[in-house]
Structure 1
C-alpha cells in the first residue's frame, strides 16, 4: 500500500523548470509519482517529480512566514497525508507535527534556522519529528550541545546517472559552476587563475552561474567587483545557465573546482562533477571531503598557493586527471538515484513508526 506523502518546500524554493534551486531539483529527482509537493506558485512548467500543487496565498494579516505556515497547515489538513516531509524548516516541521507524522530533512546547518537555533530547541524537535540530514556534518551540527545525542538519520543527496550527458573528449578547460557569491570562493578561484594563466595559454576558464538560480538573477556588488578581475584574467563569465547546460559543461571540462569558503553541508556540485567524469578540486570544509573521498584534490581557497598548486598539478598531469575522473565516477555511483529512493522509502516508514513510538525498521 502506497503512502500519501505531502512534501513541503521552503518558501523561497521555486518548483519550476529554469528557476529551481538545489532543494527543488533534489525533491523532483527522488519524488515518487504519487507524492504531493506544495510550495509557492510558479510561472511556467513545474518540475516533473511528483504532483506539484501551489499553495493558496494566505489572507491573514500576519508576517509572510506565518502566512506560509498557515497555508501549509491548511493544505495538510485538506490532503490528510500519512506523512509530511518538510525541507529545511524546523519551525514548520514542529507546527505540522500536530497534523500528521513529520520527517524533517535538513540540507544546511540547522543552528541558524528558526526553531533549531539552540540545543534545547533541537532536542525538543528531535522528540517530535524524525530528523534527517543530508550529511554527517549536518547531523553533527544538529547534535551540538545536546546531552542526549538526539536521533538523526542520514539521507545523502543523489545523482541520476541515467540522465547524464554522454561521455565526450575533454577540453583543456577549468569550470566553476554554482552561485557566484563570496561564500563559494569564486574570487579566490579568479585570483588563483590570474597567477597561472600565462603558464597555461592553451587552457580556458569558465564561471557558470549567477547570484541566484534563474535567468532573472540580479547584479550584486560582489559580481560588479568580480567582473573586471575575471575579464583581466581571461575568465569567461556566462551568467546563469540551466541545470542541463551545467551538466553538459561538466562533461566537457577537464577540471571542475568547488572552492567554497562556506562549509558546504553536502556539495552537490562536486558530486555531479564526479558523476560527469571531470577531475575535481574541492575545499576541505564542511561535508565536501566526505562526499569526494579519495576521488578529488583538496585545496583551501584562501590558503596561500593551495588552489594554484592543485590547479597546476591537474593541468600538468593528464594521467592524474584521467585517474580522478574514473575514481569520481565510481564514487558518484554510491549516491545513485536507486540507492536514494530505497533510503527514502525506509526513512518514510521509520518516520511513521517514530511518530507512533514504535521501533523503526
Structure 2
C-alpha cells in the first residue's frame, strides 16, 4: 500500500495509475491511484493458506489465493500500458494476454519452491522489478532463461516531507530508543529489550510500536505477552503502542533519539529504515537481507541476532549526543537520495523498456 501510494503520488500528472482493489479493501488507502474494485472470491482461511504454500512449493500455483481473486483480471483496462503484479508469480497466467505483465517483487515469493518451480511460475512475465540488488541477485538465477537479464532494480523511496527531523531531539534526561514494525520474533523487538537488559541503564526510555497483526485490536500473541513480561524487569521505562495508522508513524520516529531495527528476517528493502533515517534518528539495522543496502552509509549495521553487539552500539550512542546527531544527519542525507520521485521515474523507464 505505501509503495503504491508513494510511486503513484510522485508520478507525472500525465501518467494515470490504477490499482486493483478487492471490494472489501478500503478505497481511501489508494488516494493517489484510481481504484478498480473487483468482487473477491471466498476468503482464504489459515488452512487454505497452508495448502497454498504446499502447492506453490510443488509448482501447482496457489489455487485458493487465485480463486479468491475472483473476477479481478476482468477489470484490467484494455488500453493499459502494462500490468504490474505485486508478489504474485502464479497470477501471470490469469493476466490479459495482450497487455505486458511484469512481476514487481518485494520479496522472494517462492523461497521454499522445488527446483524449476519459480522459473515455470514466472514464464508469463515480460520482466521482473526487484526492490533491491540483494533481492535481484537471489531472484535472477531462478527465473526462466529469457528473464535472467531482465531482472531490474528499482529502489523504494521515502517521502522526505512527511518524514522529517524533529527540531527538539536530545533536550531531555532520558535517551529514547524506538522499535517500530510488526511485533513478531522475525522482526527482532525482543533483541532490543535484551540489549537494554544487558545495559541495565536507568537513563533509557524504550518504546515498542506495532502489533503482531495489522490492526490495534485483538488479544496479545504469546510473543507479545513475553515481551511485556521482559519489559517489566528492565530498569528504564518501557511502553508499548499497538499498531498505528500511517499518518501517526512519523511522530514516533521524531520522538526517538535512536531507532533499532534488528530484523532476523532477510527483509529485502525495509521502508522503516528509510523512514527512521529521514526523520533524523540515529538508526541501527541488522546485517540481514537488503537492510545494509538500504541503510547505505546512513545507519549503523550490527550482526543478525546479536543482542550483545546491539547493546554496545546503543550504549555508544547513548553516551555521546554528538555521535547521535552525526548519525541522524547521515541518515537524513541518505534518505534524501531515495525520494519517491526518483523511484517513480526509474520505474516508468523500466516498465516502458519491458513493454517494448
**TM-score, with structure 1 as normaliser:** 0.82
**2:121 matched to 1:138?**
no
- The equivalences for 1:1-361 within 5 A come to 24-31=1-8, 32=11, 34-40=16-22, 41-43=24-26, 45-58=28-41, 64-76=64-76, 79-96=78-95, 98-112=97-111, 118-119=115-116, 121-122=118-119, 125=122, 128-144=125-141, 148=145, 149-165=148-164, 167-171=166-170, 172-198=175-201, 201-216=202-217, 218-233=219-234, 234-303=237-306, 305-353=308-356
SS for the counterpart of 1:164 is coil
Cα distance per residue 1:59-103 (max 9 Å; x no partner): 8xx954232345222222x65522111111011134315251112
1:35/1:337 CA distance change after superposition, 3 Å: same
Q: Kindly indicate whether the alpha-carbon contact (under 8 Å) linking 1:176 and 1:208 is maintained by their aligned counterparts in 2.
A: yes
Post-superposition shift, 1:213?
A: 2.0
1:126/1:313 CA distance change after superposition, 3 Å: farther
1:145/1:131 CA distance change after superposition, 3 Å: closer
Post-superposition shift, 1:203?
A: 2.3
1:54/1:232 CA distance change after superposition, 3 Å: farther
Q: Kindly indicate whether the alpha-carbon contact (under 8 Å) linking 2:89 and 2:122 is maintained by their aligned counterparts in 1.
A: yes
Q: Kindly indicate whether the alpha-carbon contact (under 8 Å) linking 1:206 and 1:237 is maintained by their aligned counterparts in 2.
A: yes
SS for the counterpart of 1:163 is coil
Post-superposition shift, 1:166?
A: 5.5
Q: Kindly indicate whether the alpha-carbon contact (under 8 Å) linking 1:155 and 1:343 is maintained by their aligned counterparts in 2.
A: yes
Cα distance per residue 1:152-197 (max 9 Å; x no partner): 0001111111222463211520000000000011111111111213
SS for the counterpart of 1:46 is helix
Distance 2:255 2:303 in 1: 25
Unpaired segments of 5 or more residues in structure 2?
43-61
Cα distance per residue 1:254-312 (max 9 Å; x no partner): 10011001111112111111111110110001001111112211112533611111111
Q: Kindly indicate whether the alpha-carbon contact (under 8 Å) linking 1:188 and 1:301 is maintained by their aligned counterparts in 2.
A: no
1:128/1:66 CA distance change after superposition, 3 Å: closer
Q: Kindly indicate whether the alpha-carbon contact (under 8 Å) linking 1:277 and 1:329 is maintained by their aligned counterparts in 2.
A: yes
Post-superposition shift, 1:27?
A: 0.3
What count of residue pairs does the alignment treat as equivalent? 324
Runs of 4+ in 1 over 6 A off after TM superposition: none
Distance 2:158 2:245 in 1: 16
1:332/1:346 CA distance change after superposition, 3 Å: same
Distance 2:193 2:179 in 1: 10
**TM-score, with structure 2 as normaliser:** 0.83
Taking only aligned residues, the RMSD between alpha carbons, in angstroms, comes to 2.5
Q: Kindly indicate whether the alpha-carbon contact (under 8 Å) linking 1:134 and 1:266 is maintained by their aligned counterparts in 2.
A: yes
Distance 2:30 2:348 in 1: 21
1:216/1:52 CA distance change after superposition, 3 Å: farther
Post-superposition shift, 1:325?
A: 0.9
